[in-house]
Every structure is written in C-alpha cells, then in structure tokens.
C-alpha cells in the first residue's frame, strides 16, 4: 500500500451520530473483541453440562489522537461522509472541544456508528474514556475509547384467548380490573375449628 492510500485509509476511520461526527487525526491501534459464551451448569457428581451458547455484545477499543483543526485530508473524507451518510462534522474543533463532544456522547447515552479499518459498527455506546496528557501531548487530545454494541430488540403484544375458551381460564386469563375491593380480616383457623367442635 502506498503512502497516499495509507493516509486515506487512516482518515476513513470516524465515529459519532447526527451532527456530532468525529474524525481522529491519528489512530494508534484498534482492538476488536467478539466472544461466544457457552453456558455451563454443574450437575450431580460434579459433571458440567452445556445446553446453549450466546454472543455477548461486540466491543472495540481504539487509541486515538486528535489535533486542533484536523488534517489536510479531512475535507475530502467529510465530503464523502456527507454524501453517503448525510452527516456533518466540524473541522476546527480544539482538543478541549473534541473532549467535550466525546464526553457528551457518553453522558447522553448516544448510540453511535463506528467505522474502523476492519469493520463498521452500529448502535455503539462509549463505555470507557481514558485521556493521557504529558509534556508531549499537552496540545493534542490523546485518548483510549472503549465502545460496546447495544443489541436492540422489539416486542409486540398479542391478544389472548377469552377466558371461556381456556381450559383453566380462572388461573390463566389475563389480569382484569374488577373494581375496588374492601379488605377483610382473616379469621383464626384454630378458633374456628374449636367453635365447630363445640357446636
């Protein structure tokens, strides 16, 4: 890969949602994590059985650097993003403003899209923000972001059968409002039994 292609590939990485779309000046590393969890249940005599497996949410950790004003290739990348995703992003954010934007995405629980060099993610939340500042990074934003995918599902309601059509409608029918009820004090079973025996 030539230098120009590497630069374009580097700056194709971005994340955000809506009008908050952030393009890092440099990506130091990306760590992608996908797990398959196999359930394990101990049974008699210490044996372990597994009856199913499931996929936990995917996570990606990126070490990023943001310089004030962005890079020379940002304008080209932003034009492509506007055309393909109908999103906009500010070019002249200072490191402090960029940090505030990332914090806002996290505190507002904003679901974001993340484009990396290997994969595109949707419905991601920023779960961890680590910012490192020393003498060499005083005027840039050098941060480590961990983002976790949110698995979204949808539910729907279904009309249950009428109680008269159920085998045991009194127990399995839906809860209905039968009006206001007056509380009663239960009797003592022992006293009731003694009265019945005496009568």
Q: Kindly give, in sequence order, each residue whose CB lies less than 8 Å from that of residue 5, ignoring residues fewer than 6 positions away.
A: none
pTM of the model: 0.63
Q: Going residue by residue through the chain, which has 199 residues, state the pLDDT in tens, using 9 for 90 and above.
A: 344 444 444 457 889 887 788 888 889 999 999 999 998 888 877 778 888 999 999 999 999 998 865 444 455 555 555 555 554 444 557 889 899 999 999 999 999 999 998 999 999 999 999 999 988 888 889 999 999 999 888 888 877 667 666 666 666 666 777 778 787 777 666 656 566 566 5
User: So where are the chain's domains?
Assistant: 3-38+52-149
Give me the CATH code for the 3-38+52-149 domain, please: 4.10.410
How far apart are the C-alpha atoms of 199 and 189, rounded to whole Å? 15
Q: Kindly give, in sequence order, each residue whose CB lies less than 8 Å from that of residue 149, ignoring residues fewer than 6 positions away.
A: 57, 58, 59, 121, 122, 123, 124, 125
Spatial contact of 125 and 112, defined as CB atoms under 8 Å apart: yes
């Amino acid at each position: 890969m030539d230098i120009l292609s590497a630069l374009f590939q580097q700056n194709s990485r971005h994340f955000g949602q809506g009008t908050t779309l952030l393009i890092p000046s440099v990506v130091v590393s990306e760590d992608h994590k996908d797990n398959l969890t196999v359930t394990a249940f101990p049974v008699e005599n210490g044996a372990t059985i597994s009856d199913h497996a499931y996929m936990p949410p995917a996570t990606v950790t990126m070490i990023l650097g943001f310089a004030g004003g962005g890079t020379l290739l940002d304008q080209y990348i932003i034009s492509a993003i506007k055309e393909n995703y109908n999103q906009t992003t500010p070019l002249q954010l200072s490191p402090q403003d960029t940090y505030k934007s990332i914090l806002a995405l996290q505190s507002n629980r904003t679901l974001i899209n993340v484009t990396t060099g290997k994969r595109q993610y949707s419905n991601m939340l920023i779960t961890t923000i680590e910012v490192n500042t020393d003498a060499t990074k005083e005027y840039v934003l050098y941060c480590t972001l961990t983002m976790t995918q949110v698995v979204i599902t949808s539910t729907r309601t279904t009309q249950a059968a009428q109680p008269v059509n159920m085998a045991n409608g009194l127990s399995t029918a839906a809860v209905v409002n039968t009006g206001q009820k007056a509380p009663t004090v239960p009797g003592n079973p022992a006293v009731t039994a003694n009265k019945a025996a005496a009568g």
